Amino acid sequence: MAATLENSMTTPKPLPLSDVTYEQFLEWLDGETYAEWIDGKVVPMASANAQHQDISAFLSALLRLKAEESGAGMALTAPFQMRLSRIRRGRQPDLMFIAKAGMTRLKPDYLDGGADWIIEIASPESLLRDRGEKFAEYEASGVKEYWIVDPESKRVDFFVLGEDNRYSRARQDDDGKYESVVLPGFWINVGWLWKSFLPPIKQVLKEWEAQ
């Protein structure tokens, strides 16, 4: 996820001066503001860099196409809220997929509960949070699949929720390919993500069709 806002950045509106409820947070929020709600506190998030945006747009386009083609669910991108009520969190994952069976949890302004699959694109500032706080939160909230894309180190960590409700690491194959367990047929070659120019969407679709 995008890095936490630093003092050198300005916000489009004043932050609440005291703790707020999640409902008050949603009233404060607008469609252009990147922020999360952490146990009553509003935590603004910094804007993403060009590589982050490029990878996010690439994965989002593929995810949306596969979701529509399969009818398996819906793909959403930040800024859109995911409310984790039990642990008092309102997170904004970079990308999330909600399976068809969970669509009743989708509200106009937020998803009530954990998505089935989340992808976070890490920055140097957010990496520990993505691997620590969010890892634990998503695991506890039943997120079945969690990807951490780290452009800085050119690696992707894949985690799948087991029957014991704990994450185990999944790995790409020897050719660098990894296929989602939540959305079968959606796979990437991890090396694609580090190219100066990401593969055209049409090229990826042809490769999927050839499998």
The model's pLDDT over 88-135, given as tens digits with 9 standing for 90+, comes to: 999 999 999 999 999 999 999 999 999 999 999 998 888 888 999 999
The residue ranges of every structural domain in the chain are 48-210
Distance CA 121, CA 38 (A): 20
Residue 6 has pLDDT above 60, yes or no: no
What band does 199 get if pLDDT is binned at 50, 70 and 90? very high
The model's pLDDT over 30-41, given as tens digits with 9 standing for 90+, comes to: 877 789 999 999
Q: Which amino acid is at 100?
A: K
What band does 10 get if pLDDT is binned at 50, 70 and 90? very low
Q: Is CATH 3.40.50.300 correct for 48-210?
A: no
**Closest C-alpha to 122, from 152, 96, 99:** 152
Q: Which residue has the tokens 């937020």?
A: 110
Mean pLDDT for the chain overall: 91
Q: How far apart are the first and last CA of the chain?
A: 31
